[in-house]
Amino acid sequence: MAAMSAHSTQSSHATGASSGAWTPRSVAVCALFTALALVLSFVELPIFPAAPWLKYDPSGVVGLVAGLAFGPGIGAVVAVLPWVVHLFVEPFGAIMALFCSVVTVVPAALIYRARPTRSGLVLALVASGVLALVAAILGNLVITPLYSGVPVEAVVEMIIPILIPFNLLKICLNAVLAALALVPVSIIVSRWD
């Protein structure tokens, strides 16, 4: 119970967004995290040599940290807004990224809010990683044929050799980087009172 009240204080005292009330501070925090996620969404790195066309962008880390530190409301906004800009440039990729970001961030934030411990963090990241992997595979099965003309059968053939390994690598990178970034962000947040 003490861990829960410490976490509740940590995640809602600075922003108020966890309790459902958006304060000027929560809007500012959300705007800062959203801006950082937007900038990082344009950083595209090939991390899987077998499929160099699949790129990793670190914006998911920002969404995860926002959700874990400030709750699912701010996390969801930070997961969604950066991809709205991309809708005008590459709509199918943006829809896919938006879907996967929300499926990653919101469950992780909800689980960590319920269990604000180290084991709760691990559970949150693993559970949201599994959900993100399923979302990425389903999203590829639906969206890839729509914009690329590749038949669904060809996408199915890519699941095991390409889609699962790439997405697992991306999910693990996001989880590790978010867990590492959460500590300094939590320290900063705890000093806001």
Task: Write out the two tokens for 38.
Answer: 């937007």
- What residue ranges in the chain does DSSP mark as E strands? 45-46, 55-56
Residues 6+ apart with CB under 8 A from 27: none
- Chain CA centroid to CA 179, Å: 12
**Residue 114 CA from chain centroid, whole number:** 18
Residues 90, 77: Cα–Cα separation, whole Å? 20
Supply the pLDDT for residue 66. Answer: 97
CB 61 within 8 A of CB 78: no
> Is-contact 124 179, C-beta < 8 A?
no
Cβ-based neighbour number of residue 101 at 10 Å: 28
Full pLDDT tens readout for the chain, 193 residues: 333 333 443 444 445 555 568 889 889 999 999 999 999 999 999 999 999 999 999 999 999 999 999 999 999 999 999 999 999 999 999 999 999 999 999 999 999 999 999 999 999 999 999 999 999 999 999 999 998 889 999 999 999 999 999 999 999 999 999 999 999 998 887 776 5
What was the pLDDT predicted at 88?
Answer: 94
Q: What is the pLDDT of residue 7?
A: 43
Residues present in the chain in total: 193
CATH class, domain 2-190, is: mainly alpha
Show me where the domains of the chain are located: 2-190
- The structure's pTM equals 0.87
Give the pLDDT confidence score for residue 188 in this predicted structure: 83
Each residue's pLDDT tens digit, 86-118: 999 999 999 999 999 999 999 999 999 999 999
